[in-house]
Amino acid sequence: MALNKFNLPDVGEGLTEAEIVAWKVKPGDSVAVNDVLCEIETAKSLVELPSPFAGTVTELLVPEGVTIDVGTAIISVSDAVSGDPTPADVPAPATPVQPLYGKLPADDGDTSGGAPAGGPLVGSGPKADAVKRRPRKAAPATRPAPSASVSRNAPEVEPVQPHTLAEVSAKRQETAAGTAMPKISTGSVTEAVDNRPTLGGTITGLVNRVLAKPPVRKIARDLGIDLADVVATGFRGEVTREDLVSYQAQRDAEHDKADGFWGTAGKPQDQRIERIPVKGVRKATAKAMVESAFSAPHVSIFVDVDASRTMEFVKRLKASRDFEGVRVSPLLILAKAVIWAAARNPSVNATWVDNVGGTDAAEIQVKHYMNLGIAAATPRGLMVPNIKDAQDLSLKELALALNNLATTARAGKTQPAEMQGGTLTITNIGALGIDTGTPIINPGEVAIVAFGTIKQKPWVLDGEVIPRWITTLGGSFDHRVVDGDLSARFMADVAAILEEPALLLD
């Protein structure tokens, strides 16, 4: 039996460390090639690691929550598959295996071929594949003898009796008191945990699948409730809507009793301070922002924009059959405006490079493609995935790319490759109701645009004060590459598209 050790790989470009967030396997589990072993958090994203080996997990070498260097062994897998019996595991039969009909001769001299009275009946002998089964566990001494009319090799399963509502209520009280309670199942479930009937004894564990109708599962997902934690009172043992309501009410009551954010009065000073380790995405973001703020001289400018026609355009797109089922927002028009304006002012889509060829020389690399970054706030911190070659996308294709980017980022599934190679970034702070701000340039780029909220304000148009949809754009630029004149022309071009989206047709 060979033992294989899996070392932490570099899942990105030049990553040096990662944190083991959650193991998806445990010692004794069987794994196949490409089965997910664990989730790791790198400086860029949350990544699932597939297994390069097939076999049985023997040991988890790194616990959850620990940050380790690339190349460190994290798990060992043997090439033996768990559950496969070896010849030593299969006991030799005490008596010769009987054929399907009649019986074997007692010895070489017995050639009668007849079956004595009380001999085996048709189908009552061991099956042909009996030697491949796991050894039968000894039945408890208190187990009653099976009826003579039942086949001796048939699986014996104790019936599961339905629970009354009073019993369920008693179990619920036990759960609230912290008493361990087995899972309740009122159906005629005969499948064991390993999806096979349990032989020679009572059922010791039921399948983990909790019975519930799709609408109930959706409500549980929306409320963040694990159905396995809910006491089921349905007729067939399923979790009902009323069970979820009861569980949520109990959870809310427990939450109300808990201390709030300021509920630390009277406690020692060290218990009134929450310490959050800086690692993963937050550590990488902090390092990048410090380097950007103090290496690239920032200059910021702002412009108020009448986006009323953009709002009308978005409304028409939503009603269009071509955009049916596609989420459309003013951010789509801004993204298209930034691409259009960058084509007219190419130096905003560039990179400043120091130490060219190992010398003190520097150069400006203007990109003739647009990998448009969209800053996304996620539960794990700020991420900036980008849309590759955004300049080649139609308006609908750009809308679909934005929707996919946002969905993936919120789910925490953004991959490192999706955050590499960005050329210019948009940060949509207006989604939080903020008018504008002074964003910090994403490292490796020279420009970033902040998109403020769009709201109705009094606006002077043709000498009259009327309500219009107004937004404020804020832009930050690396002054080594983008001077004041270029930054102003770029922001004016972006504003022009928001004021008149029809210019995109030119």
372-412 residue pLDDT tens: 999 987 777 788 999 999 999 999 999 999 999 988 888 87
Which superfamily, per CATH, for 165-255? E3-binding domain (4.10.320.10)
Q: Give the pLDDT confidence score for residue 448 in this predicted structure.
A: 97
Q: Is 479 a catalytic residue?
A: yes
Q: Give the pLDDT confidence score for residue 413 in this predicted structure.
A: 81
Strands 424-427 vs 372-378: parallel, antiparallel or unpaired: parallel
Q: Give the pLDDT confidence score for residue 39 in this predicted structure.
A: 87
Q: Where in the chain is the domain with CATH 4.10.320.10?
A: 165-255
State the residue for tokens 């599961």.
Answer: 160
Annotate 435-457 with DSSP letters as a single string.
----PPPPTT-SEEEEE---EEE
Q: Give the pLDDT confidence score for residue 105 in this predicted structure.
A: 46
Q: Give the pLDDT confidence score for residue 2 in this predicted structure.
A: 80
Q: Give the pLDDT confidence score for residue 257 in this predicted structure.
A: 60
Closest CA to 240 of 228, 249, 248, 232: 232
Closest CA to 44 of 288, 275, 276: 288
Residue 37 CB coordination number (10 Å)? 24
Residue 22: its H or E element: strand 17-23
Token readout for 344 is 């007219």
In Å, how far are 57, 270, 302 from 474, measured between CA atoms?
53, 41, 4
Give the list of residues 6+ apart from residue 369 with CB closer than 8 angstroms, or none.
389, 391, 423
Residue 43 CB coordination number (10 Å)? 22
Arithmetic mean of pLDDT over the chain = 77
Closest CA to 444 of 428, 414, 424: 424
Backbone φ and ψ for 18, nearest 5 degrees, come out as -160, 160
DSSP 3-state of 144: coil
What is the arrangement of strands in the sheet containing 46-50, beginning at the earlier edge strand? 46-50, 36-41, 17-23, 67-69
Confirm if 306 and 468 have CB atoms less than 8 A apart. yes
Closest CA to 341 of 180, 130, 179, 492: 492
What per-residue string of b and e applies to 413-429 under the rule 16 or more CB within 10 Å gives b?
ebbbebbeebbbbbbbb
Q: Where in the chain is the domain with CATH 3.30.559.10?
A: 281-505
Confirm if 375 and 443 have CB atoms less than 8 A apart. no
> CATH assignment of 281-505?
3.30.559.10
Q: Give the pLDDT confidence score for residue 283 in this predicted structure.
A: 78
Q: Give the pLDDT confidence score for residue 171 in this predicted structure.
A: 54
Token readout for 454 is 């769009």
pLDDT in tens, 36-92: 999 888 766 778 889 998 999 999 999 988 888 888 999 999 987 655 544 444 454
Q: Give the pLDDT confidence score for residue 167 in this predicted structure.
A: 54
> Which residue positions in the chain have pLDDT lower than 70?
1, 12-14, 43-44, 81-208, 254-266, 272, 506
CB-side neighbour CA atoms (13 Å) of 289: 11
Q: Give the pLDDT confidence score for residue 271 in this predicted structure.
A: 73
Q: Give the pLDDT confidence score for residue 187 in this predicted structure.
A: 41
Residue 70 CB coordination number (10 Å)? 16
Q: Per this entry, what is the length of the chain?
A: 506
Q: Which residues pair with 351 in a beta bridge?
A: 365
Confirm if 501 and 307 have CB atoms less than 8 A apart. no
* Fold held by 3-78: OB fold (Dihydrolipoamide Acetyltransferase, E2P) (2.40.50)
Q: Give the pLDDT confidence score for residue 185 in this predicted structure.
A: 41
Confirm if 451 and 430 have CB atoms less than 8 A apart. yes
Q: Where in the chain is the domain with CATH 2.40.50.100?
A: 3-78
3-state SS of 163-217? CCHHHHHHHHHHHHCCCCCCCCCCCCCCCECCCCCCCCCCCCCECCCCCECHHHH
pTM of the model: 0.55
